[in-house]
Amino acid sequence: MNQFISSRGHQQPVSGAEAILHGLAPDGGLYCPTVWPTLSPDSIGKLLPMSYAERSAYLISLFLSDVSYEELLSYTREAYATFDNANPAPLRKLSDSITLLDLWHGPTAAFKDVALQLLPFLLTASVKTLGEQRNVCILAATSGDTGKAALEGFKNRDGCAVFVFYPQGGVSQVQQLQMTTQEGRNVGVCAIEGNFDNAQTGVKDIFADAMVAKKLDDAGWMLSSANSINLGRLLPQIAYYVSAYCDLITEGTITYGQPLDVTVPTGNFGNILAAYYAKQMGLPLGRLVCASNRNDVLTRFLQTGVYDIRRELHLTSSPSMDILVSSNFERALFHLSGGDAALVATLMTSLSKDGYYSASQSLKATFDEAFIGDSCDDATVSKTISDIWSATKTLIDPHTAVAVHVAQKHLTKSPMLVVSTASPFKFVESVSDSLGVTAPTLTALEEFTELRAPACLQALETREVRFQDCISIPSMPQKVLQFLNLT
Ligand SMILES: *Cc1c(COP(=O)(O)O)cnc(C)c1O
């Protein structure tokens, strides 16, 4: 039976249900699997003829012993029926060596839907398994895409509410409108005066606030997280790497056992961590390339062994990657240090106290084997979008462009999979600017490219704005209590 252990301490391992319901371990650590389920050549053979929903249910069932494959399959079928494509994770050839993995066919047009359409099912199943009686309030801080995806995933679900904080001015116009016009009876959205790291810290502080916890508990509520540190976000993401590998076999691009390199546009390190998990399970992945924008803390760590956040956070054209503290990186530290929780706890304390930590030479060497890091600035992103468009008539968003540029620099003889994380129509201003389209509107971009934007992004400006508040960081706990009518 698989169990999960905190990346920071030696407490008792917990079940998957507990890890999913609580999000964070009591010592502030992240729940990590204690064993890797194995993906043998036989299991890949079994997965080849399956649908995406079946592959996903199979892979998640290897980690979660509380839920059966059949039950998971009913969840994955329902979750991925909300996508506008029969395969929620289709491949698209970009060049002889590069294939895109398009993960933005869900209801919010970004890859976070793959996990966040499924998370409500996993969470509800966990509540049932554990006999939890309270209602669950999901709190999320968002740099743009998580918030909307969480709202869509949890809207109108019984026993759940969802509240999202986003940094004022730190998300694209489309992203902001997507959130402020959100429908549903159990949802709330609010801007904060600060950047994404402030929002994320503010949410963490609410989780640690005893007064808030008591008020909620008295009223029959508990808090849970939909941020990418939740195990229930990570597991669904493993499936698309395995599924892509299967599809590449089926289409004849690779044969089983051939290494597949992967480049991932990275923010909180959740997406690329899922690739690492798939590789640990035995999926024949080659190099894992971590692509960052100008906020290149991860690139510098992978080059120097020093994780240093004593610097400014820059707002870039790829806002979902504007992050200094990549929360899921803690899991990588745990696994690559051979499960040295005491070391991880020390490094995390240094990070919050001193703003940096240094890896030992041996830990750095393990990272060198596991990951490659590189980054690019906004001008390069813009040029990449325009070059790719001219050469192939493929339109990519700024996040994907970061990854495509970095992937092109790190090609080997192996085929390269580049994870495409958002629809370009989600970032109309910067994509239009890159292509020289003077009026940055969705319609103008559609006309120029002769492509159709996803239906979920059409006519956003005409929808009713329901959430307009912008508050200071210290007011965040009060805002949540108000939302739940507990003041
Ligand atoms: C969230 C996000 C990312 C970063 O993913 P992580 O799992 O946080 O590393 C990249 N691109 C887009 C479009 C996103 O929404």
Q: What is the pLDDT of residues 60-110, one digit of tens each?
A: 999 999 899 999 999 999 999 999 999 999 999 999 999 999 999 999 999
427-457 pLDDT, tens digit per residue, is: 999 999 999 999 999 999 999 999 999 999 9
Would the pTM count as exceeding 0.85?
A: yes
Please report which helix (H) or strand (E) contains residue 124, including its range.
Answer: helix 119-130
At 451-474, the pLDDT tens digits run: 999 999 998 889 999 999 999 999
265 Cα nearest atom in ligand 1: 10
Q: What is the pLDDT of residue 396?
A: 98
C-alpha–C-alpha distance, residues 99 and 92, integer Å:
6
Tokens of residue 179, six digits:
């959130």
Pocket of ligand 1 (CB under 6 A): 110-112, 145, 228, 265-271, 320-321, 399, 421-422
Substitution site in 30, 105, 108, 111 for ligand 1 pocket (most atoms within 8 Å of beta carbon)? 111
pLDDT tens profile 202-249: 998 998 899 999 999 999 999 998 888 899 999 999 999 999 999 999
Q: Which residue, 449, 466, 291, is CA-closest to 381?
A: 291
Please give the full DSSP string across 269-303, using - where no structure is assigned.
SHHHHHHHHHHHTT--EEEEEEEE-S--HHHHHHH
pLDDT of residue 37: 96
Spatial distance between the Cα atoms of 467 and 179, rounded to a whole number of angstroms: 8
Residue nearest to atom 14 of ligand 1 (CA): 320
Cα of 195 vs centre of ligand 1, distance in Å, is 16
What is the CA(11)–ligand 1 centre distance, in A? Answer: 31
Instruction: Report the atom number in ligand 1 closest to the C-alpha of 397.
Output: 13
Do residues 135 and 159 lie in contact, with contact meaning Cβ atoms separated by under 8 Å?
Answer: yes
Q: Could you give the CA distance from residue 354 to residue 74 in angstroms, rounded to a whole number? A: 47
Per DSSP, the three-state class of 189 is: strand
Ligand 1 atom, smallest distance to 145 CA:
15
Q: Are 290 and 264 in contact (CB under 8 A)?
A: yes
- In angstroms, the CA 270 to CA 286 distance is 18
370-428 pLDDT, tens digit per residue, is: 999 999 999 999 999 999 999 999 999 999 999 999 999 999 999 999 999 999 999 99
Q: Are strands 4-6 and 31-33 parallel, antiparallel or unpaired?
A: antiparallel
Residue 225 or residue 333, greater confidence: 333
Ligand 1 atom index nearest CA of 269: 9
Which residue's CA is minimally distant from atom 2 of ligand 1? 320
CB of 203 within 8 A of CB of 229?
Answer: no
pLDDT bucket at 1, cuts 50 / 70 / 90? low
Contact between 469 and 191 (Cβ < 8 Å): yes
Q: Please state, rounded to an integer, the average pLDDT across all residues of the chain.
A: 95
- Residue 316 CA to residue 309 CA, distance in Å, equals 17
Of 116, 145, 151, 323, which is best to mutate to test ligand 1, by the most ligand atoms within 8 angstroms of its C-beta? 145
DSSP string, 30-78: BEEESSPPP--HHHHHHHTTS-HHHHHHHHHHTT-SSS-HHHHHHHHHH
What band does 302 get if pLDDT is binned at 50, 70 and 90? very high
Residue 211 Cα to ligand 1 middle (Å): 33
How many angstroms separate the alpha carbon of residue 46 from the centre of ligand 1?
A: 30
Would residue 207 be called left, alpha or beta, if left means φ above 0 and alpha means ψ between -120 and 50 degrees? alpha
User: What average pLDDT does range 352-368 have in this prediction?
Assistant: 97
Q: For atom 8 of ligand 1, which residue has the closest CA? A: 268
Three-state DSSP class for residue 119: helix
Q: What is the pLDDT of residue 441?
A: 93
Q: Is 36 exposed, middle or buried (0-12, 13-18, 19+ CB in 10 A)?
A: middle
Say how many Å lie between the CA of residue 223 and the centre of ligand 1.
Answer: 23
Q: What pLDDT score does 28 carry?
A: 87
Kindly give the distance from the C-alpha atom of residue 218 to the centroid of ligand 1, in angstroms, as a whole number.
36
Lowest mean pLDDT segment, chosen from 1-5, 287-291, 321-325, 370-374: 1-5
For the cut 90, the answer to whether the pLDDT of residue 144 exceeds it is no
pLDDT at 222: 94
How many C-alpha atoms does 281 have within 13 Å on its Cβ side?
Answer: 24
Tokens of residue 408, six digits: 């092109």
Please name the amino acid found at residue 285. Answer: L
The residue to which tokens 């084997």 are assigned: 369
Site to probe by mutation for ligand 1, drawn from 231, 293, 421, 423 as the one with most ligand atoms within 8 Å of Cβ, is: 421
Q: What ligand 1 atom has the least distance to the C-alpha of 270?
A: 7
CB 264 within 8 A of CB 238: no
Ligand 1 centre distance from Cα of residue 341 (Å): 26
DSSP 24: B
Q: What is the rounded distance in angstroms from the CA atom of residue 455 to the CA atom of residue 318?
A: 22
Q: Which amino acid is at 325?
A: V
Cα dist from 97 to 94, 240, 415, whole Å: 8, 19, 5
Question: How far, in Å, is the centroid of ligand 1 from the Cα of 215?
Answer: 33
